Structure 1
């Protein structure tokens, strides 16, 4: 069973699609962030964590939850919130958020399905590199192991510095007219995709 988590839901390679539990008020609207006065002048803490919409201290009272993604996606199913249960457990992490998580996971599955797939042999090679680097911790003494890992990182950076800019510049030539397609292929939001292209386009300059 999936329970509430204080961190968002993430999947490697799709960081711009972080998922969380979203809430709805009785009128069906999605509330804005709640603010907390930390007692330090004009400093306020801002939160969109679902358990803060409990109606206490004049905060809005949420009546239901749903899946939510940083890309703007929202789940369609509403799951009632039992605030008595939340207060009884006195631990938001103990509250069942299986429904919202399942919807977000399905959404991310669709995002991943539209993203370009890496060739299977390349996936295997990358996995082997990661596994081999992990084994260095056990095979070498600390100094030699760390040094070998850093040398390997240098080799990987050289490969990225050679291939990344070329691919980024090729995509950049298409981005103004087809940025949504580029972002979809990368499995990112358009904003993050643009940042990624700029990062690699000017890498090493």
Structure 2
């Protein structure tokens, strides 16, 4: 099963969210190991659908709840599994295994929790000046239109912007390091401290 995460445009992997299974002691289960027998390669997965009780042969315990988790360490409130729903609600048939994970809570409720968390992160981060935010929006729209109408001109504009952004990013990273501790920088950017260090290093060209 493919593990699909959620990412916001601004924070990307630093605040990547996903659905996590929750055991009766409040912890998350260990990843399920799939031994495909192909040499040393072993696939591991923490996909929430594996913890519905039908994968016991893989030593995957049954979850009692689902919750949203974020790469930054935030965890959402658990959404309990309805005890009235069991494997009998989706038994295996001659056509293949059942889908008892459908008896688990709708993962969209976890996505809504993570979306609210991202909203909190955005509000806690240092806001852009209104004039700058407006100019960025206007420039974005203009460049999209230019890419349709005059793609070569758009490429020239992008090239100029890349140089400008590199110069400004280097200056801003140096000034931020001089003026602020890393915890202040991280809060201002809406990032965990390690990701804030990575962001600074990227802009500073370290």
- Alpha-carbon contact 2:3-2:46 (below 8 Å) kept: no
2:191 equivalent in structure 1: 188
Secondary structure of the 2:142 match is helix
Asked which structure has the greater RCO (Cα within 8 Å, sep 6+), the reply is: 1
Give distance in 2, aligned partners of 1:155 and 1:19. 34
Distance in 1 separating the partners of 2:131 and 2:90: 48
For residues 126 and 75 of structure 1, the distance between their equivalents in structure 2, rounded to whole angstroms, comes to 33
Deviation, 1:6, is 5.1
**Larger proportion of helix:** 1
Structure 1 unmatched ranges of 5 or more: none
Matched, 1:13 2:10: yes
Q: Which residue number corresponds to residue 124 of structure 1?
A: 134
Distance 2:86 2:121 in 1: 33
TM-score, normalised to structure 2, is 0.81
- 116-125 vs 50-59, which moves further: 50-59
Q: CA-to-partner distance for each residue in 1:13-33, whole Å, 9 max, x for gaps?
A: 122111111111123221122
Report if the CA contact (8 A) 1:19-1:69 is conserved.
Answer: yes
8 Å contact kept, 1:86–1:95 = no
Q: Deviation at 1:138?
A: 2.9
1:48 to 43, 46, 50: 46
CA shift, 1:183, in A, is 0.8
Q: For 1:31, what is the secondary structure of its paired residue?
A: coil
Q: How many residues align?
A: 191
CA RMSD of aligned residues (A): 2.6
> Where does the alignment leave 5 or more consecutive residues of structure 2 unmatched?
92-97
- How do residues 74-113 of structure 1 correspond to structure 2 at under 5 angstroms? 74-80=75-81, 84=87, 96-113=106-123
Render the CA deviation track for 1:91-130: whole Å, top value 9, x for unaligned: 87x9722322222122211111110111122112212222
Q: Does 1:27 align with 2:25?
A: yes
Shift of 1:83: 5.9
- d(CA) in 2 for partners of 1:130 and 1:172? 29
